[in-house]
């Protein structure tokens, strides 16, 4: 018999996971130990309760979403040709064909060599290895590498890399990330983030650097930010300084420092929010944006909004209509009255100039509230 | 592409995986059909009955599996990956959600699968709903252990492999999980049928 109590073995005993001699010793101990018998009854009840959970049927529509995403990945070349059948190598059997082929090869080689010699330098960005073995295309890079237009940079679970974005900033690539250089020219630099996480620090005029994700485009407005994309194509943007615009079609979310915004394929950018908002505010906002939360979710957002959350309310004005727009307007006006020249009718009619003017007025409050520490430092310098 | 797998009878995972590796879309669908309910159930109960979240997780898991399908060399490797992906996806998503929001009783869609019958079914659903809520309150490591055990039907050794820990740790997590469920829901004992309170001991 176990001299010590056997309570730590009781689940394994219940589920026949102990070796026979050990199970026998537990059984013998239970016969003589009232305390462990009590615990055994408790574990048995826990097992019975856990078993009461029925298997759930996954919704039938799930497969359609998976199939669509697989097709999209295939189109994007994400499957790296693993499924492509290999074409057999064909031998040319006759000498005339061999001669003709050789001549053609020489001509092609001369043309290609001339083009390689004469072509302008290829557009490419420098990549530095930070950890592990990042790959460009199928090749692992050493300490440094070059990412050309159209090429993919990929990190595994142990790798990290840093890309120098022309002369305007850096992008740090976290593990399990896949990015492609889409374009680099004087007026536009563009990456595609297929999955994973990047941190961008850009020192350039607005709208010079873009990141395409499966559900939206992140347009830099002079800033630093983190952008994550998961396997379902959803993304989460977190801005640490400056501003970033998330865009998809006519839908745009402008996200300042300290704020975040999620995007979902098919829906596009959600409504931006400050991360220190209340839990119920944030949950209601997610429900409103992505889960058909409707009027109930909107009620919670309106009720819980603070002065900083005018960021969210301002964006919501154009995303709701009718009575809901009136409620959003009234809460926004209550938290921060519209400036001179901005009228209730104009805002409810989505007058672009008035909305912009109100936003300009609110921005000071968003940024002002975003940097309490910076504000303190400024004050101390002037005192 | 023409399907390489039989349509009429259940196919082994090994055969389906081989067909998937050749790019057979029908094999993908059959593999999904064979595992979808278990993956969905683990995610559903991990997130306290949130059907939308469970659907998202299920899609994520299968998308990841299918894009990595070429890497699996055996059926065992595939199933270990499936369990790992499911649990990691749940835990990762919860971390992300914590940054987005906290799970909210008021707006989450809580659904416990419907059964058949009348009073019995009503009592079963009542128990299932309470257990769902209690499981959702367990620490993630305990929750994952309970769900893998009861929905994937894994042995302690298989769970240890999927969770990357020892068998002893698995036993300890299940022990703590069972104990907490019993302490929170002891009052439901009378609602469990006598047969349901029996355990696997022979």
Q: Render pLDDT for A183-238 as a digit per residue (tens, 0 to 9).
A: 888 778 899 999 999 999 887 777 889 999 998 999 988 778 999 998 888 889 99
What pLDDT score was predicted for residue A92? 33
3 state SS of A154: strand
The CA distance from A171 to B58, in Å, is 31
Find out whether A40 and A32 touch, Cβ atoms under 8 Å. Answer: no
Phi-psi region of A358 (alpha: psi -120 to 50; beta: other; left: phi over 0): alpha
CB neighbour class for A367 (10 Å; exposed up to 12, middle 13-18, buried from 19): middle
Closest approach of B80 to chain A, Cα-based (Å): 18
Ordered alpha helix ranges (H), A235-293: 279-290
Instruction: Tell me which chain A residues have a C-beta less than 8 angstroms from the C-beta of B199.
Output: 14-15, 44, 47-48
The CA distance from B41 to B148, in Å, is 10
Q: Which two tokens stand for residue A55?
A: 């298997």
Binary contact (B124, A54; C-beta < 8 A): yes
The CA distance from B111 to B106, in Å, is 13
Q: Which two tokens stand for residue B11?
A: 């196919």
The CA distance from B183 to A283, in Å, is 30
Q: Annotate A91-140 with three-state secondary structure.
A: CCCCHHHHHHHHHHHHHHHHHHHHHHHHCCCCCEEEEEEEECCCEECCEE
Counted across chains A and B, CB pairs separated by less than 8 A come out at 209
Report chain A's C-alpha Rg in angstroms. 30
Q: Per residue of chain A (383 residues), what is the pLDDT tens digit? A: 456 888 888 999 888 888 888 888 888 888 888 888 888 888 988 988 888 888 888 887 788 778 777 777 666 654 444 443 333 333 333 445 555 656 666 666 666 545 444 444 347 899 999 999 999 988 888 889 999 989 999 999 889 999 998 778 889 999 999 999 998 887 788 999 999 999 998 877 778 899 999 989 999 887 789 999 988 888 899 988 888 999 988 889 999 988 999 998 888 899 999 988 888 898 899 889 888 778 889 999 999 999 999 999 999 999 998 899 999 999 999 999 999 999 999 999 999 899 999 998 898 778 654 444 333 333 333 33
The most distant pair of C-alpha atoms in chain B lies apart, rounded to whole Å, by: 56
What pLDDT score was predicted for residue B120? 62
Instruction: Tell me which chain B residues have a C-beta less than 8 angstroms from the C-beta of A8.
Output: 171-172, 175
The CA distance from A174 to A170, in Å, is 13
The CA distance from A195 to A236, in Å, is 11
Cβ-defined contacts of A299-305 (< 8 Å, 24+): A300/B106, A300/B107, A302/A327, A302/A328, A302/A331, A304/A277, A304/A278, A304/A280, A305/A281, A305/A331, A305/A335
What pLDDT score was predicted for residue B190? 76
Q: What is the pLDDT of residues B103-146, one digit of tens each?
A: 333 333 445 554 445 666 677 778 888 888 899 899 989 999 99
Helix (H) or strand (E) segment spanning residue B36: helix B25-46
The CA distance from A273 to A277, in Å, is 7
% of chain B at pLDDT higher than 90: 17
Nearest to A307 by CA among A244, A240, A361: A361
Find out whether A235 and A192 touch, Cβ atoms under 8 Å. Answer: no
For residue B70, how far is the Cα from the chain centroid?
A: 24
Q: Which two tokens stand for residue B5?
A: 């797998």
Instruction: Tell me which chain A residues have a C-beta less than 8 angstroms from the C-beta of B112.
Output: 54, 56
Exposure string over A101-138, b if 16+ CB within 10 A, otherwise e: eeeeeeeeeeeeeeeeeeeeeeeebebbbeeeebbbee
Exposure string over A230-264, b if 16+ CB within 10 A, otherwise e: bbbbbbbbbbeebbbbbbbeebbbbbbbbbbbbbb
Binary contact (B113, A287; C-beta < 8 A): no
Binary contact (A46, B102; C-beta < 8 A): no
Nearest to A283 by CA among B113, B50, B46, B144: B50
Residue B80 has pLDDT above 60, yes or no: yes
Instruction: Tell me which chain B residues have a C-beta less than 8 angstroms from the C-beta of A67.
Output: 25, 28-29
What's the rounded mean pLDDT across residues B6-29? Answer: 73
Helix (H) or strand (E) segment spanning residue A49: helix A34-51
Q: Find the angle CA(B93)-CA(B94)-CA(B99) to the nearest 5 degrees.
A: 95
What pLDDT score was predicted for residue A105? 64
Phi-psi region of A242 (alpha: psi -120 to 50; beta: other; left: phi over 0): left
Residue A31 or B197, more confident: A31
Where is average pLDDT lowest: A2-6, A350-354, B166-170, B175-179? A2-6
Beta strand pairing call for A139-140 and A235-248: unpaired
Residue B201 has pLDDT above 90, yes or no: no
The CA distance from A375 to A356, in Å, is 25
Q: Which two tokens stand for residue A366?
A: 């968003």
What pLDDT score was predicted for residue A154? 94
3 state SS of A174: coil
User: Taking a contact as any Cβ pair under 8 Å apart, which residues of chain B between 4 and 63 contact chain A?
Assistant: 21-23, 25, 28-29, 32-33, 36-41, 44-45, 51-52, 54-56, 58-60, 62-63
State which residue of chain B sits closest to A16, comparing Cα positions. B201
What pLDDT score was predicted for residue B125? 78
CB neighbour class for B22 (10 Å; exposed up to 12, middle 13-18, buried from 19): middle
Nearest to A188 by CA among A217, A160, A229: A217
Confidence class of residue B196 from pLDDT cuts 50, 70 and 90? low
What pLDDT score was predicted for residue A208? 85
Binary contact (A53, B156; C-beta < 8 A): no
Find out whether A301 and A288 touch, Cβ atoms under 8 Å. Answer: yes
Predicted complex ipTM: 0.77
């Amino acid at each position: 018999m176990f001299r010590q109590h056997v309570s730590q073995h009781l689940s394994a005993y219940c589920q026949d996971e102990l070796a026979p001699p050990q199970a026998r010793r537990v059984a013998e101990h239970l016969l003589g130990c009232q305390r462990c018998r009590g615990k055994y009854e408790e574990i048995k009840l826990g097992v019975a309760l856990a078993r009461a959970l029925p298997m759930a049927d996954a919704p039938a529509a799930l497969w359609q979403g998976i199939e669509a995403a697989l097709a999209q990945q295939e189109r994007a070349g994400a499957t790296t040709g693993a499924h492509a059948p290999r074409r057999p190598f064909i031998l040319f059997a006759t000498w005339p064909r061999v001669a003709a082929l050789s001549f053609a090869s020489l001509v092609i080689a001369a043309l290609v060599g001339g083009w390689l010699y004469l072509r302008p330098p290829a557009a490419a960005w420098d990549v530095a290895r930070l950890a592990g073995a990042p790959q460009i295309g199928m090749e692992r890079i050493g300490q440094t590498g070059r990412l050309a237009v159209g090429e993919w940079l990929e990190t595994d679970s142990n790798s990290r890399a840093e890309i120098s974005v022309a002369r305007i900033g850096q992008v740090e690539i976290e593990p399990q990330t896949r990015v492609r250089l889409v374009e680099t020219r004087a007026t536009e630099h563009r990456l595609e983030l297929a999955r994973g996480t990047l941190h961008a620090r850009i020192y350039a005029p607005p709208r010079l650097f873009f990141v395409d994700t499966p559900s939206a485009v992140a347009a830099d407005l002079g800033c630093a930010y983190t952008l994550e994309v998961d396997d379902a194509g959803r993304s989460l943007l977190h801005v640490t300084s400056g501003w970033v615009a998330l865009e998809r079609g006519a839908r745009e979310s402008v996200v300042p420092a300290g704020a975040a915004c999620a995007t979902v394929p098919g829906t596009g950018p959600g409504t931006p929010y400050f991360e220190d908002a209340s839990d119920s505010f944030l949950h209601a906002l997610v429900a409103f944006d992505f889960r058909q939360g409707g009027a109930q979710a909107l009620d919670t957002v309106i009720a819980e909004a603070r002065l900083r959350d005018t960021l969210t309310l301002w964006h919501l004005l154009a995303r709701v209509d009718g009575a809901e727009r009136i409620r959003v307007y009234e809460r926004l006006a209550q938290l921060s009255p519209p400036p001179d020249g901005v009228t209730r009718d104009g805002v409810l009619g989505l007058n672009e100039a008035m909305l912009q003017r109100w936003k300009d007025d609110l921005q000071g409050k968003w940024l002002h509230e975003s940097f309490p520490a910076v504000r303190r430092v400024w004050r101390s310098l002037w005192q | 592409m023409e399907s390489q797998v039989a349509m009429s009878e259940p196919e082994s995972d090994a055969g389906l995986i081989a067909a998937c590796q050749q790019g057979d879309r029908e094999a993908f669908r059959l593999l999904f059909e064979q595992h979808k309910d278990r993956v969905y159930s683990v995610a559903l109960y991990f997130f306290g009955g949130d059907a939308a979240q469970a659907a998202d997780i299920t899609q994520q898991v299968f998308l990841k599996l299918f894009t990595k399908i070429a890497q699996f060399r055996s059926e065992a490797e595939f199933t270990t990956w499936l369990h790992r992906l499911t649990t990691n996806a749940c835990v990762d998503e919860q971390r992300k959600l914590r940054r987005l929001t906290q799970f909210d009783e008021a707006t989450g869609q809580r659904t416990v699968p419907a059964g058949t019958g009348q009073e019995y079914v009503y009592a079963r659903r009542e128990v299932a709903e309470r257990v769902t809520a209690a499981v959702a309150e367990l620490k993630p490591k305990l929750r994952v252990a309970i769900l893998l055990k009861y929905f994937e039907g894994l042995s302690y050794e298989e769970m240890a492999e999927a969770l990357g820990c020892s068998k002893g740790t698995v036993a300890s997590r299940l022990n703590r999980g069972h104990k907490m469920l019993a302490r929170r829901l002891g009052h439901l004992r009378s609602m469990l049928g006598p047969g349901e309170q029996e355990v696997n001991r022979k």
